[in-house]
Amino acid sequence: MNLQELINKSVRELTDVHHSKYRYIPMYDKQLPSAQTLKEIIEVIREIVFPGYFGNPSVTENTVRYHAGVNTEKLYYLLFEQIYRALAFESNDANTPTIAKEKTFFFIERLPDIKRLLSTDVKAIYDNDPAAKSFGEIIFCYPAIKALLNHRVAHELYLSEIPLIPRIVTEMAHAETGIDIHPGATIGEYFSIDHGTGIVIGQTAVIGNHVCLYQGVTLGAKKFVLDEAGNPMDLPRHPILEDNVTVYSNASILGRITIGKGTIIGGNVWLTYSVPPNSRIIQTKAVEDKFVDGLGI
Amino acid sequence: MNLQELINKSVRELTDVHHSKYRYIPMYDKQLPSAQTLKEIIEVIREIVFPGYFGNPSVTENTVRYHAGVNTEKLYYLLFEQIYRALAFESNDANTPTIAKEKTFFFIERLPDIKRLLSTDVKAIYDNDPAAKSFGEIIFCYPAIKALLNHRVAHELYLSEIPLIPRIVTEMAHAETGIDIHPGATIGEYFSIDHGTGIVIGQTAVIGNHVCLYQGVTLGAKKFVLDEAGNPMDLPRHPILEDNVTVYSNASILGRITIGKGTIIGGNVWLTYSVPPNSRIIQTKAVEDKFVDGLGI
Amino acid sequence: MNLQELINKSVRELTDVHHSKYRYIPMYDKQLPSAQTLKEIIEVIREIVFPGYFGNPSVTENTVRYHAGVNTEKLYYLLFEQIYRALAFESNDANTPTIAKEKTFFFIERLPDIKRLLSTDVKAIYDNDPAAKSFGEIIFCYPAIKALLNHRVAHELYLSEIPLIPRIVTEMAHAETGIDIHPGATIGEYFSIDHGTGIVIGQTAVIGNHVCLYQGVTLGAKKFVLDEAGNPMDLPRHPILEDNVTVYSNASILGRITIGKGTIIGGNVWLTYSVPPNSRIIQTKAVEDKFVDGLGI
Amino acid sequence: MNLQELINKSVRELTDVHHSKYRYIPMYDKQLPSAQTLKEIIEVIREIVFPGYFGNPSVTENTVRYHAGVNTEKLYYLLFEQIYRALAFESNDANTPTIAKEKTFFFIERLPDIKRLLSTDVKAIYDNDPAAKSFGEIIFCYPAIKALLNHRVAHELYLSEIPLIPRIVTEMAHAETGIDIHPGATIGEYFSIDHGTGIVIGQTAVIGNHVCLYQGVTLGAKKFVLDEAGNPMDLPRHPILEDNVTVYSNASILGRITIGKGTIIGGNVWLTYSVPPNSRIIQTKAVEDKFVDGLGI
Amino acid sequence: MNLQELINKSVRELTDVHHSKYRYIPMYDKQLPSAQTLKEIIEVIREIVFPGYFGNPSVTENTVRYHAGVNTEKLYYLLFEQIYRALAFESNDANTPTIAKEKTFFFIERLPDIKRLLSTDVKAIYDNDPAAKSFGEIIFCYPAIKALLNHRVAHELYLSEIPLIPRIVTEMAHAETGIDIHPGATIGEYFSIDHGTGIVIGQTAVIGNHVCLYQGVTLGAKKFVLDEAGNPMDLPRHPILEDNVTVYSNASILGRITIGKGTIIGGNVWLTYSVPPNSRIIQTKAVEDKFVDGLGI
Amino acid sequence: MNLQELINKSVRELTDVHHSKYRYIPMYDKQLPSAQTLKEIIEVIREIVFPGYFGNPSVTENTVRYHAGVNTEKLYYLLFEQIYRALAFESNDANTPTIAKEKTFFFIERLPDIKRLLSTDVKAIYDNDPAAKSFGEIIFCYPAIKALLNHRVAHELYLSEIPLIPRIVTEMAHAETGIDIHPGATIGEYFSIDHGTGIVIGQTAVIGNHVCLYQGVTLGAKKFVLDEAGNPMDLPRHPILEDNVTVYSNASILGRITIGKGTIIGGNVWLTYSVPPNSRIIQTKAVEDKFVDGLGI
């Protein structure tokens, strides 16, 4: 078989639309949102929310309104196109352009509140980390702020019932920070994450104010219910964390349970039941073990 | 000391080939595979396997064969060069170009099967995640699919005994998704990963069909045996998971043990022994603890 | 409201400097270090430390000194500018350019020692991983080496009391590898990390020689002390690991405790007290549990 | 005046829409064709017309149809968008998308003929240049072929009455080659240009087959007629060159005159009247002149 | 000789600072203006002067002031740096930063007038070209406008006695359009150029209002005078063209002569003496010549 | 006809290998030199020849040898690959790699002499242009130096009988500067060009020392001789200019004639016969002409 034959054979097999196993894949004639443009959108939002830290470094208190104007206009055009694509991916409604415009307007009106929430997060992280030297260091360097900006943006888009984009936006943060927050999760003010790698927060989780999570914490589902067709049902199935809860590294909290306010959960705990306010939960004490073989454990 | 003297001094010290501690480093006159090109190769494979989702968005059922032809040809030239470099890095065999060509051909012939396996993974992830709205969302957004595409590609190259490239390919997915699957690991059909950050699957692990892993799960080695020269021996040392096993977040399963089919392992468990089919293993219940000091735990 | 009105309204709200919640954000008239240039700096250092593996592939034993000279000069100019910006961000001292120059000189003088330490790490990783086939594979592919190069560079800059840059450099490695080592952490020779995702090493941790950590390990703080103003105090609060300690996956070790030399800590353990040399610590054995409902656990 | 005041003053003056002199400039709310995309379109056409010389170098006689398919589809989407923009720039017709589609289809149908014409030009240039070593050298290196490809493409678009784009496309060639052919000019088969810099061919020029022009030749208008409103009228006003005419360097031929077939025009001639077939026209002989001063002339 | 020896030999010869012929070349320790940044500066000016045609396409009458503000600020920072470098290249004056700032301010204040002049040029070109369909087409496509924008910018910088930059800016236009106007040339309102390739306008040329030049026209020097040291003296040596002069293609007008107002100069003329107002000058009529040999002329 | 049918029809017609008019075009299975890489090669040579002006701006008298070493090595690898491709394009000789290596070595050995010649050109241009303020301005800004560097490089490669590359290199300069010098032309020391656009120098032209040409000058062929097969013969057919000749703008000098030393040729002259040393040749005086119609000429 020469190269030409190999190519012809591969083309034939790879484009065989009748192959039974391939049935999940066909996706033609629709234009998906562009991951590249969504990245650009997040950068523009970062410039708008944290002027001077990201984007044009020469911005001053006096020229900041020129930059805000140009960036907001740019955001409108970029975001409208992506929202339009995402809506068109799921429906052929003739009103899609109008709906896309309304949702884009609505999002831009929410920007000042997103900025307000993020500024509470910056404060909370500063208060919880003795290693932090300034607010600026947190805004500019900390992965938690990257992840929270993407989440708070994605959550607004999720509430507007825009398909695909919220998930792409949170996955961008997930890839960069290892923090995986589903866009559906509800998160209060002054939320702080330290280190963050491995954190998973599920779709229906509800988090109060002044909550702090460490790396590797899972707020997950314990099980899910199938509907009559045998598909998993999208019901509340992740934990509720009330105000002022702290969860240490690698703890797994699963199911629609409530962690009462002021509670502290120790690291590496596996928790599947509700606990009352101000609880203190830790793993059973580890044990000393004599090994038979030299190296292993 | 001025800048010129500093540079001269640094050059002298840094290029001192007799420095005893540097003895692991010299690597001259060989051309390593290019990480940049391997990234491009993965993108081409993504376009071939999931047309319309990645690469040219205008592909339709009718023009897909033009795209498949161009992409397969492109893949051949890109991959041949990299396989050639990897083989030449380890050996000076005069037949290297011929061997590289054969291995490239063989890989391209395996592409349809890689596509088939990935389509089963898409189905399995859809069935396990109530938050997933469509197959398309999984293909386009989910990190698990990124990691599995890289793994299934790397595993084929690993079976062809191509050095370096399999590992680079899986490390690319590791960096992007936090999912670290050694290219040697054997993975069956309908494999699903949820969230995925922190998952580690070792070189000699064997995973059946319809297995599901959550974030932070380790399928690792408990210990390893040294050969007579004192180097660690490359023997089977990672777990076997039979069909329909589910492992929850942050569980560590270590050693050449067998997890019987249908078993469910709870989160945060440390497991170093085999368990029979249909077992249910969870961590000892966490305890309530009264703290002496206010803040700590 | 039309687009123009929307933009004007958003600009007004977003640039409202009197909004009480925004008070943490203003950052004008200072030029922050450039993340893009710091990335370039790390690449230049990689070329200097591991010639042939990174950067120009044609380097040979004979021409390596030309490359080292050009790269060292380039490093000087790039790094000086960034150190200058970082110092100017925190102070308006008229001597800043002179200080920046001295610190840049000092860092370049430390490069040969950074190279020496990294070569011990390469050796240690090789000795601990049966899957590793060559030193070259480790240097070129393993995330641990990426993370350690950034750490050892950042640690030198941290010791020179340069603000911001050390943290940006380690966060770059964190984003790429999921390994989060604070630039303040002290790490000995022959340090090895396997897989690595989810590892967190705190600011005041002290790690001896020949220590080995697996994925998901946390060397964290248990609690912190507030000063009179209510801000957390920057005191030693992370563990000390003596020589030849091994810690398995997902273990959390917290507080200013000492893990005696030769100790092995099993996976998923939560450890908040010191242990003597040569200890063996593992999690309480997991339990078999009978479930009532089919799917859940 | 500080920087802020300077900026505010400049913004005020520069955006003063009532400034009488600025009245030619306003252009809002219309999206012009993208020069960048038109460049890409020309590159795609080059790949289609001269496969192997431009674009993917691996194309072979066997895979050329895959490339042609992908490139033609790509061309359709890129060109449709630009034609749509150009039409919308001049009119608000609701049928614009339909018309744009028809014109794009029509252009693609003309591609084989464009390819045919260009292949005659390659042959003609080869026959006229003793320095040319192969057809390939002409296709790959000669500016004349760049200019003619752009012209023959632009001329088809001009005949389809598409605004703006034809001119942008010929100006791209003009900038690169110094050859300025108006898209309206009619040019026969086997047209050859040597060197080419400074050639100007006007809008209503008509050139027969087997014509050859050297650098600096102008086929221009002598004068133009104003209409009643005082605007210049767009009438035939450039020369007609019959078959087998040759014009040497820097000759200027002006007005709606006819150069009979087989005529040769010498260099640096200024010609404003028709000449019969097979004429030989040269400049009056230059003269020897004695200068008074040493250096000047 | 192997590669290493070749390199060493070449380095030795190429860096031989005592080679007598190389004495014009050394240029160390100075930072030249960046051609790349000057290109960016011209693009910013284009956006400011012709909003909607260049740069952000979404600009509207309402948002144009945001864009003007951002672009003017950006222009300030980019231009200041380049002017500083150019001044420092020629002098070590301690006031250089202050002078650079003043010259940058002055240039920005001149921008509205540059815009006014260019709008007269657009009008003049439109009135002289029957092929032009709209003002927009001229602004967006015509090389004359590119060349005149660069010239009018460069001329202001030239009048401010900034070294190097004026010439680089006009050479950028020269490379793109083939129109070579020395930044020192004085050009009135409503200046039009048609086609333009090959036009040369010398340093001390003075051009009135409503002047029109065609391709290949030279306004050059006839001779120059040497000073006592034997270097050419920088005296007025190029022509003066009074108002409403037209010069056709390839005419050469040389020396400090005056072309009286309303004069028309025909193509390919060589003119070295002054002519009174309203003259009409053309080349001696070309002649018919009988050739002996078939092909030659 | 829908899009799919259009594409299929176009592909069929465009790839029709039997179309008689397309017979000049097929070019498969050969890899042409890369225009992009040749551009990079010219940039490397510019850095080597004019350190400090191009490439790394931080080069100093002390570090220049590091840069020269790295750049020379880089040049070797880049150029070898391109020379290899060019030779392989014309022949299948098994020795091609060896020959390519020899020719690359030989070129690098010629670099110091290319540098020497260019430094004489810089001096000559400085002496001929009253507007030039420094040698540096000429090296950095003047198109003549760009064109001459490319020519002197291309001429060496031409003398080594390397196909294609010399022409591509001179066409690069032609596109940028409008100066078209055939790589075969022989040019002495201290050659100066002013402005340059439109200059054409033919393949067999021979130019002495201290020659100066102005814009638009053609040194061309008058006619060419056909061989028995009817192809033009590659014989000496362009002028010889002896030492110290000056030619003014737009003059055309054609045929294998000799312009005696010290001669000055005026602008716009058409010259096809030899002239003795120290001649002064100018165009017949232009005439005053009364026009009948108002506007025309």
ipTM for this prediction:
0.87
Give yes or no for a contact between E109 and D10, defined as CB atoms under 8 angstroms apart.
yes
Residues in chain B with CB shorter than 8 Å from the CB of A89 are: 136
Least confident of B62-71, B189-198, D142-151: B62-71
What chain E residue is nearest to F249 in terms of C-alpha separation? E252
Asked whether D and C share 3 or more beta-carbon pairs under 8 angstroms, the answer is no
What chain E residue is nearest to D89 in terms of C-alpha separation? E136
Residues in chain B with CB shorter than 8 Å from the CB of D65 are: 66, 69
What chain C residue is nearest to B275 in terms of C-alpha separation? C288
Closest by Cα among F175, F270, F283, F267 to F214: F267
What chain A residue is nearest to E74 in terms of C-alpha separation? A58
Pairing, β C240-241 against β C206-207? parallel
pLDDT tens, position by position, for chain C (297 residues)? 787 788 888 788 777 755 555 555 555 566 789 999 999 999 999 999 998 888 876 677 778 888 888 899 899 999 999 999 999 888 878 898 999 999 999 999 999 899 999 999 999 999 988 888 888 889 999 999 999 999 999 999 999 999 999 999 999 999 999 999 999 999 999 999 999 999 999 999 999 999 999 999 999 998 766 677 766 677 899 999 999 999 999 999 999 999 999 999 998 888 999 999 999 998 776 666 554 333 333
Give the tens place of pLDDT for each residue, B106-138.
999 999 999 999 999 999 999 988 888 888 889
A20: pLDDT strictly greater than 80: no
Q: Which of B7, B204, B263 to mutate to test the interface with C (most CBs of C within 10 A)?
A: B7
Average pLDDT over chain B, rounded to whole?
Answer: 87
Residue E165 neighbours by CB under 8 Å, 6+ apart: E33, E38, E82, E83, E86, E154, E157
Contact between chains at E142 and D30 (C-beta distance less than 8 A): no
Would you call A66 an interface residue with chain E, using a CB distance cutoff of 8 Å?
A: yes
**D199-212 mean pLDDT:** 97
Residues in chain E with CB shorter than 8 Å from the CB of F285 are: 284
Q: Closest to C28 (Cβ–Cβ): which among A61, A111, A216? A: A61
Would you call A101 an interface residue with chain E, using a CB distance cutoff of 8 Å?
A: no
Give the tens place of pLDDT for each residue, B142-179.
999 999 999 999 999 999 999 999 999 999 999 999 99
**D147-162 mean pLDDT:** 97
Split at pLDDT 50, 70, 90, the class of B289 is low
Q: Quick one: pLDDT at residue E179?
A: 97
Percent of chain F with pLDDT over 90: 61
Side chain identity at residue E176, one-letter code: E
Give the tens place of pLDDT for each residue, A153-194.
999 999 999 999 999 999 999 999 999 999 999 999 999 999
What chain B residue is nearest to C109 in terms of C-alpha separation? B10
Closest by Cα among D243, D233, D49 to D156: D49
CA-angle at B193, arms to B191 and B197, nearest 5°: 150
- Chains touching chain E at 3 or more Cβ pairs under 8 angstroms? A, C, D, F
Residues in chain D with CB shorter than 8 Å from the CB of F293 are: 223
Closest by Cα among A145, A200, A216, A268 to C198: A216
Give yes or no for a contact between E297 and D248, defined as CB atoms under 8 angstroms apart.
yes
What are the tokens at D203? Answer: 């809008």
- Chains touching chain F at 3 or more Cβ pairs under 8 angstroms? B, C, D, E
- Chains touching chain D at 3 or more Cβ pairs under 8 angstroms? A, B, E, F
Q: Quick one: pLDDT at residue C291?
A: 44
D293: pLDDT strictly greater than 70: no
Split at pLDDT 50, 70, 90, the class of B293 is very low
Give the tens place of pLDDT for each residue, A184-220.
999 999 999 999 999 999 999 999 999 999 999 999 9
Contact between chains at F252 and D267 (C-beta distance less than 8 A): yes
Q: Quick one: pLDDT at residue D240?
A: 98
Q: Quick one: pLDDT at residue F257?
A: 96
What chain D residue is nearest to A63 in terms of C-alpha separation? D4
Q: Which of C62, C70, C80 to mutate to test the interface with E (most CBs of E within 10 A)?
A: C62
DSSP letter string over chain A?
A: --HHHHHHHHHHHHT-TT-GGGGG----S--PPPHHHHHHHHHHHHHHHSBTTBS-TT--TTTHHHHHHHHHHHHHHHHHHHHHHHHHHH---TTHHHHHHHHHHHHHHHHHHHHHHHHHHHHHHHHH-TT---HHHHHHH-HHHHHHHHHHHHHHHHHTT--SHHHHHHHHHHHHHS-EE-TT-EE-SS-EEES-TT-EE-TT-EE-SS-EEETT-EEE-S---B-TTSPBP----S-EE-TT-EE-TT-EEESS-EE-TT-EE-TT-EE-S-B-TT-EEEPPPPEE---SSSS--
**B89-95 mean pLDDT:** 82
Contact between chains at C56 and F70 (C-beta distance less than 8 A): yes
What chain D residue is nearest to F181 in terms of C-alpha separation? D195
Q: Quick one: pLDDT at residue F54?
A: 87
Split at pLDDT 50, 70, 90, the class of A17 is low
Split at pLDDT 50, 70, 90, the class of A295 is very low
**B261-289 mean pLDDT:** 86
Q: Quick one: pLDDT at residue B294?
A: 33
CA distance linking residue C185 with residue E119, whole number of Å? 63
Give yes or no for a contact between A45 and A111, defined as CB atoms under 8 angstroms apart.
yes
Query: Rounded to 5 degrees, what are φ and ψ at C292?
Result: -85, -55
Residue with tokens 């004007």: C8
Would you call F280 an interface residue with chain E, using a CB distance cutoff of 8 Å?
A: no
Contact between chains at A216 and B195 (C-beta distance less than 8 A): no
Would you call B73 an interface residue with chain A, using a CB distance cutoff of 8 Å?
A: yes
Contact between chains at F63 and C70 (C-beta distance less than 8 A): yes
Q: Quick one: pLDDT at residue B292?
A: 34
Is residue E9 packed enough to be buried (19+ CB in 10 Å), middle (13-18) or exposed (0-12)? middle
Q: Which of F15, F63, F70 to mutate to test the interface with B (most CBs of B within 10 A)?
A: F63
D83: pLDDT strictly greater than 70: yes
Q: Quick one: pLDDT at residue E213?
A: 97
Tally of CA atoms within 13 A in the half-sphere of B192 that contains its CB: 20
Give yes or no for a contact between D115 and F22, defined as CB atoms under 8 angstroms apart.
yes
Contact between chains at F250 and D248 (C-beta distance less than 8 A): no
Helix (H, G, I), strand (E, B) or coil at F167: helix
Give yes or no for a contact between F258 and F224, defined as CB atoms under 8 angstroms apart.
no
Q: Quick one: pLDDT at residue C294?
A: 33
**D114-128 mean pLDDT:** 93
CA distance linking residue B120 with residue B107, whole number of Å? 20
Percent of chain B with pLDDT over 70: 88
Q: Please report, for residues E33, F32, F42, the alpha-carbon distance to residue F36 in angstroms, rounded to integers and kept in the order given.
A: 25, 11, 10
Residues in chain F with CB shorter than 8 Å from the CB of B69 are: none
pLDDT top residue among A119 and A225: A119
Q: Quick one: pLDDT at residue A292?
A: 34
Side chain identity at residue B23, one-letter code: R
Would you call B31 an interface residue with chain F, using a CB distance cutoff of 8 Å?
A: no
Would you call F69 an interface residue with chain C, using a CB distance cutoff of 8 Å?
A: yes
Q: Closest to A77 (Cβ–Cβ): which among E58, E65, E69? A: E58
Split at pLDDT 50, 70, 90, the class of D8 is confident
Split at pLDDT 50, 70, 90, the class of A23 is low
pLDDT per 10-residue tile (average), chain E, 297 residues: 80 69 59 91 94 79 83 92 90 87 94 92 92 88 96 98 95 96 97 95 97 95 74 85 95 95 92 93 69 36
Residue with tokens 């924008």: E149
Give yes or no for a contact between A4 and A11, defined as CB atoms under 8 angstroms apart.
no
Q: Quick one: pLDDT at residue C93?
A: 82
What chain D residue is nearest to B77 in terms of C-alpha separation? D58
Would you call B182 an interface residue with chain C, using a CB distance cutoff of 8 Å?
A: yes
DSSP letter string over C218-253?
A: EEE-S---B-TTSPBP----S-EE-TT-EE-TT-EE
Give the tens place of pLDDT for each residue, F71-82.
998 999 999 999
Question: Which residues 204-233 of D have a C-beta within 8 angstroms of E?
Answer: 216, 218, 220-221, 224, 231-233
Q: Quick one: pLDDT at residue A289?
A: 57
Total residues found in chain B within this entry = 297
Task: Please list the alpha-helical segments (H only) found in F130-289.
Answer: 135-141, 143-159, 165-177
Q: Quick one: pLDDT at residue A222?
A: 82
Average pLDDT over chain F, rounded to whole?
Answer: 87
What chain B residue is nearest to F64 in terms of C-alpha separation? B4
CA distance linking residue A157 with residue A163, whole number of Å? 8
Contact between chains at F14 and D68 (C-beta distance less than 8 A): yes
Asked whether B and E share 3 or more beta-carbon pairs under 8 angstroms, the answer is no
Split at pLDDT 50, 70, 90, the class of F68 is confident
If residue C55 lies in a helix (H) or strand (E), which one and from where to where? none
Residue B61 is given by DSSP the state T
Residues in chain E with CB shorter than 8 Å from the CB of C6 are: none
What chain F residue is nearest to D64 in terms of C-alpha separation? F15
Contact between chains at A63 and E70 (C-beta distance less than 8 A): yes
Side chain identity at residue C282, one-letter code: I
Q: Please report, for residues A243, D21, D265, E169, F270, the alpha-carbon distance to residue D248 in angstroms, rounded to integers and kept in the order given.
A: 88, 43, 6, 33, 10
Give yes or no for a contact between C233 and C251, defined as CB atoms under 8 angstroms apart.
no
Give yes or no for a contact between C284 and B272, defined as CB atoms under 8 angstroms apart.
no
Angle (deg, nearest 10), helices C165-177 and C143-159? 170
F294: pLDDT strictly greater than 50: no
F33: pLDDT strictly greater than 60: yes
Q: Quick one: pLDDT at residue D234?
A: 77
What are the tokens at B242? Answer: 């039979």
Contact between chains at D21 and E119 (C-beta distance less than 8 A): yes
Q: How many helices (H) and strands (E) does chain F have?
A: 7, 15
Q: Tell me the shortest Cα–Cα distance from B178 to chain A, in angstroms.
A: 7
Task: Please list the alpha-helical segments (H only) found in chain F.
Answer: 3-14, 35-49, 64-90, 96-128, 135-141, 143-159, 165-177
